[in-house]
Structure 1
Amino acid sequence: MDAFSIPLELQDSVASRLQDMVLETSDAEEFFQELAIFSASLLSPRGAEIFCNLSVVRHKKPVTVACSTARARTMDELQYAFGDGPGLSAMRTGTSVHVPDVSREHRWPQYIRAVADHAVGSILAVPLQLEGASTAALNIYASRIHGFAGSDIARAELFAEQSSKTLRLGLRLARLQEARDNLEAAMKGRTAIDVAVGVIMAQNRCSQEAALAVLRKASSSRNAKLRDVAAGVVESVSPNASLLTHFDE
């Protein structure tokens, strides 16, 4: 990889833009989407149309976390359906995979035939370094054959190196956001149950244990979650009630 294929001032500009993305996006999904769009804009060879996506393998399952166009997502879904392709190979081996001419490519024959039907001429998949067992790839598709010169490949690899740290941070933010959402849901569910128990105790003049037993019986008979039954009880006595926890903003 030739770092000088991208001028130093542009490298600094790219690093600054990646940092801004983390700070300016409101959640992980928006960050990944901005990264895919920025990748397509930065890496487009002169006079060529390209589209990009970001693929991540976590817990042995590949997923597309963002794409610059719907067409790019389709290319990834084809890889997942056939179980292999340039992006999956790049993630598995940790090395870039270049398909200069789809019509002459003999690897992954089923996938290549399907891709050719979508007017893709060439493909470049560049791995991104993540943490632990997680792997990722930046998949770049060009409509024309030989869409990526050697300098384009070097440029994409340098960009992947720069964006890997930002992507790792984005994935950490996604995990933190998921944990926060799960905890918030659990806390709100617990609040609904506590309030519903109080309502049943007041209505039936019974103990806390007896009120909770009533809720559990209703949950079992309706095949519904306990917190959903509890929320229904609260709604029945106070339709406009808002159950607050310390997570509410």
Structure 2
Amino acid sequence: MDALPETADSLPDTAEPFPRVTDAFVSTAATEHEIVSRLQDLVLQTADPQDFFKEFAVFSASMLAPPGGDVHCNVTVVRRKRPVTVASSTPRARIMDELQYAHGDGPCLLAMRTGKTVYVGDVTNERRWPEYVRAVAAQGVRSILGVPLQLEGDATAALNIYSSAVRGFSPEEIVRAEVFCEQSSKTLRLELRMAQLKDAKEDLEAAMKSRTAIDVAVGVIMAQNRCSQSAAMAILRTASNSRNIKLRDVAAGVIESVSPDPALRTHFDE
């Protein structure tokens, strides 16, 4: 079995230990600077999180490909307890991840669950996921590397790297991938936090626009029925419930019935 054991203690006596990790061995200072600089550029140059992760997947594939070879990379994040591929370096890479999800498990999902790197050097010798490895072998993939990405809280992620070569990653290249992911994790956490803030801002704007429509509609009902604000709100809610229509849509209908220009503007400071 070519997959790396999950613990160092389980390495067989005949296994060659990984070389000692040093700055000189992993990468030169120039390469480390290139990684950090490029990731910073991605954050600054991409306005949408999806664009960032796409560029990150492509960058990962270019940085982690063995000399004279190429690899396909995916970034997988667990959302609402389900794994989702947020970006792929190539369409072929996305197919590999979809196969893993369809079969319910695989090296990359295992890497996310355990927080440890999982390596399958030759899928034809892997016994843990027989149906999955047969499916990826049929796609021309022969070795797989799953490296966890350290995020925050309950969020988990992994960089999934696929190669068409048997034993496509040497021990040195596996360590390099681990260091690359460690260097990248801080930037990924920043990008995800910015995405969360953006989502929260958009949700707040949508809520304020709905609130504006409801408040204006309540004012219309108050004027038409000469009733209190609470009574007007009750009328609006009753109409919403009886018609099984969202409250903001009922409010929009009320406004359209009295205004030649039903478009509303919500005024707030950015």
Residue 125 (1) aligns with residue 146 (2): yes
Residue 175 (1) aligns with residue 215 (2): no
Larger gyration radius, structure 1 or structure 2? 2
Structure 1, 187-196 or 57-66: larger mean CA deviation: 57-66
Q: Which residue of 2 aligns with 1:153?
A: 174
Any idea what the Cα deviations from partners look like across 1:176-216, whole Å, max 9, x if unmatched? 22222222221111111011222333344444333323321
Distance 1:110 1:2 in 2: 38
Residue 245 (1) aligns with residue 235 (2): no
Residue 232 (1) aligns with residue 253 (2): yes
Distance 2:265 2:243 in 1: 23
Structure 1, 232-241 or 58-67: larger mean CA deviation: 232-241
TM-score, normalisation: structure 1: 0.89
Q: Which residue of 1 aligns with 2:223?
A: 202
Structure 1 runs (4+) deviating above 6 angstroms are none
Mapped contact 2:208–2:266 kept (Cα < 8 A)? no
Flag the 1:233–1:12 CA change in 2: closer, same or farther, 3 A: same
Tell me the secondary structure at the aligned position of residue 265 of structure 2.
coil
Distance 1:232 1:45 in 2: 62
Q: Which runs of 5+ in 2 are unaligned?
A: 1-20
Q: Which runs of 5+ in 1 are unaligned?
A: none
Question: Displacement of 1:223 after TM fit?
Answer: 1.2
Q: How many pairs align?
A: 248
Counting only pairs closer than 5 Å after superposition, residues 127-146 of structure 1 correspond to structure 2 as 127-146=148-167
Mapped contact 1:191–1:245 kept (Cα < 8 A)? no
Counting only pairs closer than 5 Å after superposition, residues 1-249 of structure 1 correspond to structure 2 as 1-3=21-23, 4-236=25-257, 237-239=259-261, 241-246=263-268
Mapped contact 1:48–1:143 kept (Cα < 8 A)? no
TM-score, normalisation: structure 2: 0.83
Amino acid across the alignment from 1:150: P
Mapped contact 1:58–1:133 kept (Cα < 8 A)? no
Any idea what the Cα deviations from partners look like across 1:73-97, whole Å, max 9, x if unmatched? 2222222232211111111222211
Tell me the secondary structure at the aligned position of residue 62 of structure 1.
strand
